[in-house]
């Protein structure tokens, strides 16, 4: 077994590999860019080597620097994680030629599966179901249209070297096929330096289901069941689960056996994933093979009880697989949500900056632990107070739950999302909560078009209807009552000026547009204990019990005997006296005041604070890079600089220097 391995990656996956290596008694070496010098994975590793500036093309994608770090530290093996150089066959070959073991498949297996056209030919010869189409590169748009007519619409036009949704179009007629071919070719040339394009049948109501497998150097390959990855946004996976709620045991067996046949055909030795597109009639076709560890591997670990990273390391060291196909387990149900640094209410705009607060829900399952199941696990590469750089992937954590069945797993995930505290940046947690509550998702009735169909106009706050909105108002009243009780208990209060706890309040719900709703509530004690209160709203009554402290952001307890987890913050950007509550993806801002104060508040018109546009640093037609200054706004004697979140071209400047701005007024529009 290796004594020291280097992880040629960063963030969450680097932390994941380090955890298993420590369990196995293996020393670890991290490589890091200037942007990651204080990152969590650097602190976790036994050694760390700086490999260059923040941009990945100058650090994590430079094979020479990574190989030099292996030699410098005496690392015997290299784990590539996922992304970056993990599927670069030339890099894997060079690593092996330098006498370093690549913890992944052999370079020739990777090369065979890395080309989408060649991999389809190999799959077909290995007896794997392939989608009808032309697997050789197409030279002209006219030829693409002719082929599409022969296959029958709809068709998928796809770049051979594509990935991450780039170089992919679906065409339903000749015009779309002609235009799609040209777009795909240009996109592929610009993104990958390879403009080969092919055409295949587009499977309607498709589901993305993949088979996890592992092979060793002794000719053994087993499949570790499947993962359902159909919940995708712009071809990027959002929620993954294992097993799939859709396929039958017979389909699972057939897909697994075909995946193994393909792996054996290329002498595959490591963890890998064969991706299939599955039609509504359970017909399935080969998509591609990912010759690396997948982001969503934890859900497979949950249902099989295996540590996939450990298996990869052992196989790379020459050991045989410790189990046969018959010994592979399938216990319970696992779901993974990708927690991304993006604002779902602003068209998923990337969100970077400092994590003012990062407090994941309590974990009962842990990376590399193959003993404890049926709980919650968090895989992350960040920590409280850490920085989210703009140079890398937006995923900051993976939240994984394991339940006895699918409904149990969904319930666990919803509660875990409620307890996931992220402040300082925006996250997609509200969107995840909405997806988990959607009736079609709960019923397992979805395909890869689910998000596009159900959120065609983007994601809005009203897309997350709370099943009991009065509960959130009751919780706000409970928190206010407990705060008043504590204030009243302080000693030394002057006679006649002591805090009056009171029982009657009004919860004022503050609308973003200045509209307010006023709900009278009555709060009294019950059970005679601290942390207990009964809140009455008309005919509704909520008996709330909680031992959480008043300054806790995350509050847990019971309401009418049922457990709950919610988040409560004191003060909002617009009102320091307000409470902000979040539960099941719904967020509200409220004031809890006396009836007299509510009466006076209703007489106060809403006036949004304006800002003065001090400077506009761009002009129409100008190319702007991520992080470049766009405009400066002054409000309350403070200057706020707006930076570009991504590379782009300015199409319009909608406001002028010296103009007084209203809330959410657009300033600059990008093409």
* Residue 461 DSSP symbol: G
The pLDDT value given to residue 250: 97
Residue 412: enclosing H or E segment and its boundaries?
Answer: helix 406-418
Distances (CA, A) of 172 to 145, 148, 291, 376, 461: 11, 9, 32, 43, 33
pTM, rounded to two decimals: 0.83
Q: Which residues of the chain have pLDDT under 50?
A: none
Task: Identify whether 200 is a catalytic site residue.
Answer: no
Rg (C-alpha) for the chain, rounded Å, is 28
At 558 the pLDDT is: 95
Contacts of 319 (CB under 8 A, 6+ apart): 216
Torsional sign, CA 256, 261, 262, 264: positive
pLDDT of amino acid 418: 96
What are the domain boundaries of the chain?
4-103, 132-201, 207-451, 469-488+500-601, 611-670
Helices (H) and strands (E) in the chain, counts: 17, 38
643 alpha carbon, distance to own chain's centre: 24
CATH class of 469-488+500-601: alpha beta
| pLDDT at residue 528 in the model | 62
Residue 243: asked if its preceding bond is cis (omega within 30°), the reply is: yes
CA 26, 31, 34 angle in degrees (round to 5)? Answer: 150
* Cα 471 versus chain centre, distance: 28
CATH tag, 132-201: 3.30.1490.20
Is 4-103 in CATH node 3.90.260.10?
no
Domains 132-201 and 611-670 share a fold: no
Angle at 478 between CA 474 and CA 480, to 5 degrees: 115
| Cross-strand bridge partners of residue 544 | 533, 559
The fold of the 611-670 domain, in CATH, is OB fold (Dihydrolipoamide Acetyltransferase, E2P) (2.40.50)
Please tell me the distance from the alpha carbon of residue 33 to that of residue 78, in angstroms, as a whole number: 17
**For 196-219, what is each residue's pLDDT tens digit?**
888 988 888 999 999 999 999 999
pLDDT score recorded for residue 525: 78
Going by their DSSP bridges, the two strands 27-32 and 4-7 should be labelled as parallel
Distance in angstroms (rounded) separating the CA atoms of residues 387 and 403: 33
Q: Whose structure tokens read 């295949």?
A: 200
**CA distance to 81, 215, 233, 301, 316, per residue, from 270 (Å):** 12, 5, 29, 15, 7
Cα separation values, 594 from 236, 496, 522, Å: 48, 18, 11
Q: 462: how many CB neighbours lie within 10 A of its CB?
A: 7
Give the SS3 label for residue 354.
Answer: strand
Tokens standing for residue 362? 């309590």
Catalytic residue among 210, 241, 288, 296: 288
Tell me which fold the domain 207-451 belongs to: D-amino Acid Aminotransferase; Chain A, domain 1 (3.30.470)
Q: What is the pLDDT of residue 607?
A: 65
Q: Which long-range contacts (CB under 8 A, 24 or more apart) does 287-290 make?
A: 287/131, 287/208, 288/113, 288/116, 288/119, 289/113, 289/119, 289/262, 289/263, 290/87, 290/210
CA 650 – CA 328 distance, rounded (Å): 54
């Amino acid at each position: 077994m290796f004594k020291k391995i280097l992880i040629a990656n960063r963030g969450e996956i680097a932390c994941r590999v380090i955890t298993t290596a420590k369990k196995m008694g293996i020393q670890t070496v991290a490589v890091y860019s200037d942007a990651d010098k204080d990152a969590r994975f650097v602190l976790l590793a036994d050694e760390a080597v700086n490999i260059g500036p923040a941009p990945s093309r100058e650090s994590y994608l430079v094979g020479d620097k990574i190989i030099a770090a292996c030699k410098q530290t005496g690392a015997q093996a290299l784990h590539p994680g996922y992304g970056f150089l993990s599927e670069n066959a030339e890099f894997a070959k060079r690593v092996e030629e330098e006498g370093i073991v690549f913890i992944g498949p052999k370079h020739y297996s990777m090369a065979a599966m890395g080309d989408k056209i060649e991999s389809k030919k190999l799959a077909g010869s290995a007896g794997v179901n392939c989608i009808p189409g032309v697997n050789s590169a197409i030279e002209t748009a006219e030829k693409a249209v002719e082929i599409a007519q022969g296959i029958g619409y709809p068709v998928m036009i796809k770049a051979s070297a594509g990935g991450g949704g780039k170089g992919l179009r679906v065409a339903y007629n000749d015009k779309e096929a002609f235009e799609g071919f040209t777009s795909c070719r240009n996109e592929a040339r610009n993104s990958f330096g390879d403009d080969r394009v092919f055409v295949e049948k587009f499977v309607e109501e498709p589901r993305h289901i993949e088979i996890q497998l592992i092979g060793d150097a002794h000719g053994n390959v087993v499949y570790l069941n499947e993962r359902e990855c159909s919940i995708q946004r712009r071809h990027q996976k959002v929620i993954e689960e294992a097993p799939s709620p859709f396929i039958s045991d017979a389909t699972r067996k057939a897909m697994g056996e075909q995946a193994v046949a393909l792996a054996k055909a290329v002498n595959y030795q490591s963890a890998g994933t064969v991706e299939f597109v599955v039609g509504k009639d359970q017909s399935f076709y080969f998509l591609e093979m990912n010759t690396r560890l997948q982001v969503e591997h934890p859900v497979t670990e949950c249902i099989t009880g295996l540590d996939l990273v450990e298996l990869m390391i052992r196989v790379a060291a020459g050991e045989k697989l410790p189990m046969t196909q018959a010994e592979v387990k399938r216990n319970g149900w696992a779901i993974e949500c990708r927690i991304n640094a993006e604002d779902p209410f602003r068209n998923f705009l990337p969100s970077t900056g400092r994590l003012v607060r990062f407090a994941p829900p309590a974990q009962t399952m842990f990376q590399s632990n193959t003993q404890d199941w049926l709980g919650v696990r968090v895989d992350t590469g960040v920590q409280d107070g850490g920085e989210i750089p703009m140079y890398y992937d937006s995923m900051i954590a993976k939240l994984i739950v394991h339940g006895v069945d699918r409904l149990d797993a969904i319930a666990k995930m919803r509660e875990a999302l409620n307890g996931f505290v992220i402040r300082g940046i925006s996250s997609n947690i509200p969107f995840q909560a909405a997806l988990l509550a959607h009736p079609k998702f709960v019923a397992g009735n979805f395909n890869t078009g689910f998000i596009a169909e159900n959120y065609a106009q983007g994601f809005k706050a009203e897309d997350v209807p709370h099943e009991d909105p009065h509960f959130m108002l009751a919780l706000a009243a409970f928190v206010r009552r407990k705060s008043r009780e504590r204030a009243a208990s302080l000693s030394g209060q002057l006679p006649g000026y002591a805090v009056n706890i009171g029982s009657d309040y009004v919860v004022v719900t503050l609308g973003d547009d200045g509209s307010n709703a006023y709900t009278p509530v009555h709060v009294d004690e019950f059970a005679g204990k601290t942390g207990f209160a009964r809140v009455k709203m008309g005919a509704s009554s909520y008996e709330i019990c909680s031992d959480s402290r008043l300054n806790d952001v995350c509050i847990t307890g019971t309401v009418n005997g049922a457990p709950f987890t919610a988040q409560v913050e004191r003060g909002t950007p617009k009102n320091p006296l307000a409470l902000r509550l979040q539960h099941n993806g719904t967020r509200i801002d409220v004031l809890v005041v006396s009836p007299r104060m509510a009466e006076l508040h209703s007489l106060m018109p809403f006036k949004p604070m304006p800002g003065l546009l001090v400077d506009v640093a761009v002009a129409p037609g100008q190319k702007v890079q991520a992080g470049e200054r766009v405009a400066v706004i002054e409000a309350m004697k403070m200057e706020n600089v707006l930076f570009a979140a991504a590379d782009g071209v300015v199409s319009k400047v909608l406001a002028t220097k010296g103009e007084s701005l209203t809330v959410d007024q657009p300033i600059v529009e990008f093409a």
